[in-house]
Structure 1
Amino acid sequence: MNAVASPRLRPISTPSSQPTASSATKRALRTTFVITSMPVGGAETLLVNLVRGFDDSQIEPSVVCLKDRGPLGQEISSDFPVYDRLLKHKYDIGILNRLTKHFRREKTDAVITVGAGDKMFWGRLAARRAGVPVICSALHSTGWPDGIGKLNRMLTCITDGFIGVAKSHGEFLVEQERFPKSKVFVIPNGVDTRRFAPSTNAYQDVRTELGIPSDAKLIGIVAALRPEKNHGLFLQLAKRLQEKNLKTHFVIIGDGPERASLRVQRATMGLQHCVHFLGSRSDTPRLLAAMDLFVLTSHNEASPVSILEALACEVPVVASRVGSIPDTVLDGWNGYTATPGSVSDFEKRVQSILDRADESKEFGRNGRQFVESHASLQNMVDCYTDLIGRIYEAKQKRS
């Protein structure tokens, strides 16, 4: 099981085999990540871990948020430059000049847009106008209604690299988004296994905090409360499992536009006593370590970091069989994948793990082993450093 890109794609070489940023330039490369905002979410958390992980002798990171910086942007603003509110309204074309001037003023060496949509378009176009040597787009999803969109696809010619998060995601970018193979790179998502680790103290402390029995089974989901995450199925699953075992409790970690409607569904289904909405939390590692099982019910995903975080905490996973999830959740080894949208299949898979304590523990150990071998934070940081440095060096040689 290798998380590196398939031979069809252009793989990231190991940092030691190619010049890194510092060896190519003798100074740190000023690298700006462009994102809409930084609420608590998977892609945003990855970005926080990435900028914190860079060696400042090689990469000098900063973040531009088109809108409000959000809680995670605020969190890192004391350590790294974070600029926000550059986009005044939805149809603000003045953003192009403001971003262009910003990149020129900061003498930016590399721009990496994070996600699709407006930041992918304006960030790359402004970078080109400003003469930024390295222009890349990091993509974390496959669920856009019209792909990345015609306007964003028009800028393929000025883009040096499109970054996918798993082998199958890279293949999707080539086959479905029609990006040139030579411009598609795969950098697996990475998790800080020092923060995300098993904890017997958390197991009991969280149950005490929630006011539930110390021997209660705890099943959780960590995901923004948006339609594509399909929390409604999670509630249906909770209803079925609760009817079988009154000591089973459920936690929903995250916030978003679906919060009010989901709370109404919880009440309608009579689950107020066992389904706990915890909102956005800064102690996710502790909450994950308290779970017996992690469930992700999404309609679509690329390679969700929440699954990697759960596995790092030695928590088995049951997740929708979509995107690159089958590359991470290996059936019968660290969890199970389930048919998207099928509460019956989810129930079957979850019940199988709950009924077999020894198997559950083995799944947990296997999960952490997988993360340590295939999804380390350091590998992700090294790959980004290497990619930026290699593209920059190639541009310098041609200039």
Structure 2
Amino acid sequence: MNAFSSGYQAPLHREAGRPAGPAPSFDGLGLAHLILDMGFGGAERLAQNLAIAMGKCGARCHVLCLDAVSGNTEPLARHGIPVELVKRRPVPFDPVVCLRLVRRLRALGIGLLHAHDLASLAYAVAAGRVLGIPVVMTEHSRHYIEERRLRRLEKRLLCLGVGRLVTVSPELAAASASRDGVRPDKVTVIENGVDAERFACACRQVLRQELALADDALLVGMVGRLETIKGPDVLLAAFAGLASRFPEARLAFAGEGTLEPGLRRQALALGLSDRVHFLGSRADIPDVMAGLDVLALPSRSEGLPFALLEGMAAGRAVAATAVGRVPGLVKPAEGPPNGLLVPPGDAAALAGALASLLADAALRLRLGGTARDFVERRYDQRVMVRDYQTVYRRVLAGRGGL
């Protein structure tokens, strides 16, 4: 797809081997990330990585959660970044919480707000209007918008109050303009990036020893929330379809969610409870990825998933559904394929792709190697951070356009 065909701005340039250069200074800037909670999803990982990176550039960063302070807050604490709860009530918009948020932002001396979901954006825009603070929003996916038509109107109206809407893929940017009615000149694509070195240095034996796996065991894994949108039910059905052919194969779910009790019951009913492992939410994702032989991404909808980038950075062979930006990563227009693609919701197709990878160690090695090289060249976290810093500087200067 031509990046200019929909009127939105092209992804900020990524260049292989582009030098990082000296970090720009944001001394004294109060920057608050507003998010529902600090779990282990992609939005939370981006907020965490940006807060840490901006803190190193002199900004005073804070993370404010609307629902819960939970999950992966330890890396933020290590860098002296506070995570606070501004608890909202279960209503569409809570004016009491908005007032509390305004008071807290004023007390913290916040000069820039960065929202990471539509609910947080509503409070960010309202508080930003009261305090005269510019707002940036990152859209990580759009399944929550597609579920209800009124949310598209809500997003369009809220985006009138943002300095910049950032999407993590060109597909999301195009939909924002064509389906949601957001002004194309307010939308910029900044694709997610990862610290590939963290994954290259991870230890393969950590997870495998934890699970007491035999040397010849083949481990398929999924990293993500155990919710319908992420497709763990499809993955379990696919694994059941190949389990008899690969008696040495095991399946691991790294994540939590509402589907977990049902998945456990299903694994028991299939006679696979001793071969299916539920790891819960994990902070040691590099070691989890290193312990896998195959990474499965069975999602029904995605933007640009961190789990996929991280698995590729770890050199894992990937079987993924063709949703969102995933096809552009797994089968890029230029260069060799980095994994296998299947239609979303198709357990038989996913089972076939997994079987192809489990049966062929050379194929796993080749695809994992090309995947690692691809991420190192195209999805460097340092470039992603610099692109966000460009947005921050120009929004703060009152120049929404790039």
Question: What is the TM-score when the length of structure 2 is the normalising length?
Answer: 0.89
The structure showing larger relative contact order (alpha-carbon pairs under 8 Å, at least 6 residues apart) is: 1
Structure 1 position 357, deviation (Å)? 2.2
**Is contact 1:101-1:130 (8 Å) kept?**
no
**Structure 2 counterpart of 1:138, which letter?**
T
The answer on 1:96 being equivalent to 2:98 is yes
Partner of 1:166: 169
Count of aligned pairs: 386
Shift of 1:198: 6.1
Instruction: Output aligned runs, 1:193-212, within 5 Å.
Output: 193-197=196-200, 201-202=203-204, 204-212=205-213
Matches of 1:139 and 1:55, distance apart in 2: 22
- Partner of 2:324, secondary structure, is coil
Alignment partner, residue 295 of structure 1? 296
Task: Find the counterpart in structure 1 of residue 178 from structure 2.
Answer: 175
| Distance in 2 separating the partners of 1:155 and 1:168 | 20
The residue aligned with 1:10 is 9
Alpha-carbon distance, 1:37 to partner: 0.9
1:103–1:127 contact (8 Å) kept in structure 2: no
Displacement of 1:74 in angstroms is 5.0
Question: In structure 2, do the counterparts of structure 1 residues 171 and 7 end up closer, same or farther at CA, with 3 Å as the change threshold?
Answer: closer
Correspondence for 1:324: 325
Distance 1:310 1:244 in 2: 25
Q: Measured at CA, do residues 61 and 87 of structure 1 come closer, stay the same or move farther in structure 2, by a change above 3 Å?
A: same
Could you say which residue in structure 2 is the equivalent of 1:106? Answer: 108
Task: Tell me the CA shift for residue 161 of structure 1.
Answer: 1.0
Alignment check: 8 A CA contact 2:296 2:320 kept: yes
Superposed CA deviations along residues 112-170 of structure 1, whole A, max 9, x for unmatched, are 10122x211111111111111x2111111121112644334322221111111122222
In structure 1, the partner of 2:255 is 254
Q: Is the 8 A contact 1:21 1:388 kept in 2?
A: no
Percent identity, please: 26
Match of 1:189 in 2: 192
Q: What displacement does 1:276 show? A: 0.8
The answer to whether the aligner puts 1:31 opposite 2:31 as a matched pair is yes
Structure 1 residue 330: Cα displacement: 1.2
Counterpart secondary structure, 1:99: helix
Please list the CA deviations of residues 272-311 of structure 1 after superposition, one character each: whole Å capped at 9, or x if unmatched. Answer: 1211111111222111112111001111111110000000
Deviation of the 1:22 alpha carbon:
5.5
State the partner residue of 1:340: 344
Gaps of 5+ in 1: none
Shift in CA distance, 334/209, structure 1 to aligned 2, threshold 3 Å:
same
Which of 384, 389, 396 lines up with 2:393 in the alignment?
A: 389
Tell me what 1:50 maps to.
50
Residues 113-132 of structure 1 aligned to structure 2 (within 5 Å): 113-116=115-118, 118-132=119-133
CA distance, structure 2, for counterparts of residue 22 and residue 347 of structure 1: 47
Alpha-carbon distance change, 154 to 394 in structure 1, aligned in 2, over 3 angstroms: closer
Other structure's SS at 2:319 match? strand
Displacement of 1:57 in angstroms is: 3.7
Letter in 1 for 2:293: D
Contact 2:241 2:348 in 1 (8 A): no
Cα distance in 1, alignment partners of residues 78 and 291 from structure 2: 31
Match of 1:146? 148
1:32 to partner: Cα distance = 1.0
2:8 maps to a residue whose letter is: L
Q: Is the 8 A contact 1:164 1:185 kept in 2?
A: yes
> Post-superposition, which runs of at least 4 consecutive aligned residues in structure 1 deviate over 6 A?
4-7
Query: Higher mean Cα deviation, 242-251 or 48-57?
Result: 48-57
Question: Relative to structure 1, is the Cα distance of residues 13 and 285 closer, same or farther in structure 2, using a 3 angstrom cutoff?
Answer: closer
1:244 alignment counterpart:
245
Counterpart in the other structure of 1:374 = 378
